[in-house]
Every structure is written in structure tokens, then in C-alpha cells.
Amino acid sequence: MRLALLASIFVLTLSAPAPADEIGECRFDRETLTFAGTPLDQATCLLRKVKLLGEKEPQPLPPVISSLMTNGGAPSAEMKEAALGAFPQPYQDYARLHATDPASQTEAGLPALYFVIHDTSDPFYKNDPFPRDIDNDHRVNSFTSYMDQTFASAPVAHIFLNRVGQIWAGHDFQEPWRATKLESRVVGVPARGRFVHIETVQPRRFLPGATNRGQTEGPRPGFSKAQYRMLAALYVYSSARTGRWLIPGFHATVDAGIPDAHDDPQNFELKEFGKELEQLVGR
Ligand SMILES: [Zn+2]
């Protein structure tokens, strides 16, 4: 009995994947908790355009992102203040309260490194058309469903950002959190704290003829100007709290290559994000 058990453990050990295996299309290493290549290489892979049904397409990085990824360093005190000043109330007061708290780190002590942009894919309109003015629609912009355990017992991301530019912090950036399959299903607890997560409000509806939630479309344009502006401010602010420029990426590219990966964010215009980032940090 015992020998058989030992033998089966031995076989299991042999057949288990090596711990250093790289995960997904951007090749995440489960020991270093880092995607493959330089920060610029990583941003290039993680910021590939996310198209319909989760297809990814390479796209050029805005010069400001290339320069931050190449030169390294951290946001200056002036940049951090510019980001704080851009935030609406009541989030601005909350962000100032935590402004000198470090961002999350993993249980092994590795600091946050990735800034992950999501779309909420909610509200879901099934076969109905989107409301005429989603940027000002009450239901689209309500935070209630993200606050009231509709989706999970705890808020699914650090930040929720609606189309008006209002911000609700589900968790402070200090709290190690997870919101991708890479973290929750593949690497597990050791990855927690390496990623900060921003849920950006965008509704969804079925593609014509679709019957499951894997076949949906977002509105065009996908996001409002206020959302790009606040995403840029959140990126500068969370990078300042980490003490280095975080590597930006998308949910769908972080999980690319993992079965049942999500397809968010849809219709994200990297150029618009770059423009708003330039306003805060220069070129
Ligand atoms: Zn997501």
C-alpha cells in the first residue's frame, strides 16, 4: 500500500510541469513572477490590441510609454501631485490619505509590477441595443453592482472607473489582490500583489446570433475621454506608490494562452491613453 502510494507520488512528480514553466503568450515565469524580456518587450506584448472574441494584434506603443519603459525610474513628486489633482472627489481625498502608503507586494516580498486595464463588460444588454448616451446613462455608470456582491463576495478589482470619470476603490492599492486567471487559477497565491487592477466601465451585448457570454461586443468608441484621463492619473499615482513605472497591460493579454481567457478591454485606444499620459508626464 505504502509502496504503491510512493510510486504514484513519484509518477505524479515526474509528470507535473516544471515549476519554471513559462505561462501564456507573454511568457510569465512563475518563479520571478515576471513576463519575458525587458519592460519595453513586456509592455509591447501586454498592450497588443484586444479585438473581437479576444483576438490580439500587435500595435505600436505611444512614444511616452516606450520612453517610460526604456528609461525606467519613477514618477516625480510633481507628476504624482498632477495625478492626485486630476482625481475627482471623493476619491481624491482617499488617494491623498493613502498617497505615501506603498502599493502591494507579494508574500515573497516582490513589489507590484503590472498595471492591468480591464473593461467591466457590464451592464450586459443581451440582444438589446446600447443606451443612446452611455457616457451619461445612469445604469451604465452606477457602481452599485460592483459594490453589492452581484459578482463576488468582495470587489473584483482595486479600482472601478465609470464613464463620467468617477472612481471607486474596491481595495486600496496596498492590498494584494487578483483579477486574472493567471493569478487566481494558474500561479495562485504567490502571484497576489504583483498586479494592480483597474475595472473600466463598458457595457456589452451579444454579437448578432450569439448565445453565450463568450461572444459579445462592446460599444464604439469603447471608452470616454474622462476614462482615458483618469486611467492615466491612476497609472501615475499607482506607479508613484510603487516607486517605479509599472508595466501597463490588458486583462486579455495577461491571460492570453490560458483556456477561457477573457476578451477585455474591447475597443481600447492606446493612443488616447498615451495622449492623456503625456499631459501628466510630458513626452
Ligand atoms: Zn477583466
- Per cent of the chain over pLDDT 90 is 89
pLDDT of amino acid 179: 96
pLDDT of 9 strictly over 70: no
CA of 185 to the centre of ligand 1 (A): 14
Which residue in this structure is represented by grid cell 469603447?
222
pLDDT of 19 strictly over 60: no
CA of 116 to the centre of ligand 1 (A): 8
CA of 78 to the centre of ligand 1 (A): 31
CA of 3 to the centre of ligand 1 (A): 46
pTM given for the model: 0.92
Per-residue pLDDT, averaged over 43-70, amounts to 98
pLDDT of amino acid 189: 96
Residues 109/114/119/122 CA torsion (nearest 10 deg): 0
**Segment (H or E) for 161:** strand 159-161
CA of 180 to the centre of ligand 1 (A): 7
CA of 257 to the centre of ligand 1 (A): 15
User: What is the C-alpha to C-alpha distance for residues 75 and 93, in angstroms, rounded to an integer?
Assistant: 20
User: What is the C-alpha to C-alpha distance for residues 187 and 192, in angstroms, rounded to an integer?
Assistant: 9
pLDDT of 17 strictly over 80: no
The Cβ of residue 114 has, within 10 Å, a number of other Cβ atoms equal to: 24
pLDDT of 13 strictly over 70: no
CA of 10 to the centre of ligand 1 (A): 38
Give the type of residue at 263: D
Which residue in this structure is represented by grid cell 513519484?
10
pLDDT of 218 strictly over 50: yes
CA of 53 to the centre of ligand 1 (A): 14
CA of 59 to the centre of ligand 1 (A): 20
CA of 206 to the centre of ligand 1 (A): 17
Query: Which tens digit of pLDDT belongs to each residue from 175-209?
Result: 999 999 999 999 999 999 999 999 999 999 999 99
282 pLDDT tier (thresholds 50, 70, 90): confident
**Among 62, 43, 171, CA closest to 114:** 43
Do 155 and 147 form a contact (C-beta atoms < 8 A)?
yes
CA of 264 to the centre of ligand 1 (A): 5
Query: Which tens digit of pLDDT belongs to each residue from 113-171?
Result: 999 999 999 999 999 999 999 999 999 999 999 999 888 889 999 999 999 999 999 99
**For the chain, what's the residue count?**
283
CA of 5 to the centre of ligand 1 (A): 41
CA of 253 to the centre of ligand 1 (A): 10
DSSP 8-state code for residue 18: P
pLDDT of amino acid 21: 82
pLDDT of amino acid 4: 45
